[in-house]
């Protein structure tokens, strides 16, 4: 039986993490779930985040023999991990902004995240612990999250608009922590806006290593013995007007068509 890995985000951002995990564990069975009904998560309160992630993840854990849950969303990870870990008896891995590796290479760091993540005490504690002597500038933007969603369904990113959003950082930072899982999809455009020399750091590879380690620790390899590539399954919380385009995106990543869980926002 392949290992079942559940990856969760508000939208398509978690696919950046999926790509890294899939590279390390190609033979696992992937279940991807996204809460499009409540997107964007960067605008929600902490209690709503906890309620929604718990509901969706519990539902999928009762449907599939999930071995590990990956909260592939920085915004949710900063608040939902303790309650999810209390509720589930399988490992739950979260994503946090890669401040630590950034502080090893720079002291002019920009943290690019959602408006919620840049406000959280979790983020301030990370900076205090791992980058105490660096200058860390914070920028929270929901528009960037939307731009990444648009790009994934074939809409070009407007570089002038992106430049405008990132303008406070022109010549001020040399390293950017991509503290939202949507942003790795905008790497090329961010480089176009701020110049090629800028170093962009995300957490995907570290999360993938952690997932692999936890599955091995639990006596579960990557299912090499089965040598079968399983088609992933993908769930959204509400019907999407972008269904056709999303199906195309997911199909290219070896997922079947979108299935709807029917969990509206309010």
The residues carrying an active-site annotation are: 73, 180
Bridging pattern class, strands 4-9 and 29-34 = parallel
Note the residue count of the chain.
Answer: 266
CB of 181 to ligand DGL, least distance (A): 4
Q: Quick one: which H or E segment has residue 6?
A: strand 4-9
Assess whether the previous peptide bond of 40 is cis (omega < 30° from 0): yes
Q: How far apart are CA 67 and CA 218, in angstroms?
A: 9
List Cα–Cα distances, 216 to 72, 134, 190, 213, 231, in angstroms.
Answer: 20, 36, 36, 5, 22
- Find out whether 174 and 108 touch, Cβ atoms under 8 Å: yes
Nearer to ligand DGL, 5 or 223 (CB): 5
CB of 204 to ligand DGL, least distance (A): 11
CB of 180 to ligand DGL, least distance (A): 4
* 18 CB burial (10 A radius; 0-12, 13-18, 19+): buried
Nearer to ligand DGL, 53 or 175 (CB): 53
Nearer to ligand DGL, 78 or 220 (CB): 78
- CA end-to-end distance (rounded Å), the chain: 38
Nearer to ligand DGL, 223 or 255 (CB): 255
Residues 6 or more apart whose CB falls under 8 angstroms from that of 223 comprise 1, 2, 3, 25, 27, 28
Nearer to ligand DGL, 187 or 230 (CB): 187
CB of 72 to ligand DGL, least distance (A): 7
Nearer to ligand DGL, 41 or 169 (CB): 41
Cβ atoms within 10 A of the Cβ of 168, count?
11
Place of tokens 């994503």: 95
Question: Which residues of the shown chain bind ligand DGL in the complex (CB under 6 A)?
Answer: 9-11, 13, 39-42, 73-75, 114, 117, 142, 145, 180-182
CB of 71 to ligand DGL, least distance (A): 9
Tokens read off for 71: 């909260």
CB of 111 to ligand DGL, least distance (A): 12
Q: Which of 114, 86, 109, 85 is nearest to 98 (CA)?
A: 109
């Amino acid at each position: 039986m392949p290992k079942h890995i559940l990856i969760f985000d508000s939208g398509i951002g978690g696919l950046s993490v999926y790509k890294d995990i899939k590279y390390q564990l190609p033979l696992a069975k992937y279940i991807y779930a996204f809460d499009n009904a409540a997107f964007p998560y960067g605008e929600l309160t902490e209690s709503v985040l906890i309620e929604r992630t718990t509901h969706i993840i519990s539902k999928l854990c009762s449907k599939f023999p999930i071995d590990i849950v990956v909260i592939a969303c920085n915004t949710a990870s900063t608040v939902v991990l303790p309650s999810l870990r209390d509720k589930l008896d399988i490992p739950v891995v979260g994503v946090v902004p890669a401040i630590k590796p950034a502080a090893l290479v720079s002291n002019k760091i920009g943290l690019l995240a959602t408006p919620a993540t840049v406000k959280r005490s979790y983020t301030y504690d990370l900076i205090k612990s791992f980058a105490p002597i660096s200058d860390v500038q914070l920028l929270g933007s929901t528009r960037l999250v939307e731009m990444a969603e648009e790009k994934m369904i074939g809409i070009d990113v407007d570089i002038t608009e992106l430049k405008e959003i990132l303008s406070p950082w022109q010549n001020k930072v040399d390293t950017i922590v991509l503290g939202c899982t949507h942003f790795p999809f905008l790497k090329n455009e961010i480089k176009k806006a701020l110049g090629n020399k800028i170093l962009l750091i995300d957490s995907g590879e570290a999360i993938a290593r952690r997932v692999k380690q936890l599955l091995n620790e639990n006596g579960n390899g990557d299912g090499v013995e089965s040598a079968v590539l399983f088609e992933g399954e993908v769930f959204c919380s509400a019907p999407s007007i972008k269904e056709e385009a999303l199906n195309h995106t997911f199909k290219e990543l070896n997922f079947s068509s979108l299935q709807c869980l029917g969990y509206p926002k309010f």
